[in-house]
Amino acid sequence: MKMPEISLLEWQKRFGTERACEKVLAKIRWPNGFICPRCNSADASFIKTRKVYQCSHCRYQVSITASTLFHSTNLSLVKWFWAIYFTATDKGGISALRLAKHIGVSWPTARKILGKIRIAMADRDSIYRLENFIEFDDAYIGGKRPGKRGRGAAGKKPILVAVETKDSKAGFMAVEAVNVISKETVRHFLQHHMKEGQTVRTDAFPALNPVKEMHDHEKKVVPAEEVSKWLPMVHIVISNLKIFLNGTFHGVSFKYLQEYLDEFSYRFNRRFWEPELPLRLLNACLAHGPIKSAENC
Ligand SMILES: [Zn+2]
Is the pLDDT higher at 294 or at 289?
Answer: 289
Predicted TM-score of the model (pTM): 0.90
Q: What is the pLDDT, as a whole number, of residue 252?
A: 61
- 47 C-alpha to center of ligand 1: Å? 15
Average pLDDT, the chain: 90
Q: How far apart are CA 173 and CA 134, in angstroms?
A: 9
Long-range contacts of 166-170 (CB under 8 A, 24+ apart): 166/132, 166/133, 168/232, 168/233, 170/233, 170/236, 170/237
Helix (H), strand (E) at residue 219: strand 216-220
- 182 C-alpha to center of ligand 1: Å? 55
Q: How far apart are CA 113 and CA 83, in angstroms?
A: 8
Sketch the domain layout of the chain as residue ranges.
Answer: 1-11+75-128+269-297, 133-268
- 208 C-alpha to center of ligand 1: Å? 57
CATH match for 133-268 among 3.40.50.10470, 3.40.50.10800, 3.60.15.10, 3.30.420.10:
3.30.420.10
Greatest mean pLDDT among 172-181, 220-229, 280-289 lies in 172-181
- 43 C-alpha to center of ligand 1: Å? 8
- Give the pLDDT band of residue 251 (cuts 50, 70, 90): low
* Amino acid identity for residue 215 in this structure: H
- 223 C-alpha to center of ligand 1: Å? 70
DSSP assigned state of 43: -
Contact 15, 83 (CB under 8 A): no
- Give the pLDDT band of residue 168 (cuts 50, 70, 90): confident
- 288 C-alpha to center of ligand 1: Å? 25
Q: Which of 15, 32, 8, 7 is nearest to 283 (CA)?
A: 15
Q: What is the pLDDT, as a whole number, of residue 228?
A: 85
- 73 C-alpha to center of ligand 1: Å? 24
Q: What is the pLDDT, as a whole number, of residue 289?
A: 86
- 71 C-alpha to center of ligand 1: Å? 21
- Give the pLDDT band of residue 241 (cuts 50, 70, 90): very high
- 296 C-alpha to center of ligand 1: Å? 28
Q: How far apart are CA 88 and CA 120, in angstroms?
A: 12
- 167 C-alpha to center of ligand 1: Å? 58
Q: Residue 2 above 80 pLDDT?
A: no
For 213-224, give one letter per residue: b (16+ CB within 10 A) or e: ebbebbbeeeee
Q: How far apart are CA 296 and CA 113, in angstroms?
A: 9
Write out the residues surrounding ion ligand 1, Cβ under 5 A. Answer: 36, 38-39, 41, 55, 57-58, 60
For the chain, give the percent of residues with pLDDT over 70: 93
- 25 C-alpha to center of ligand 1: Å? 20
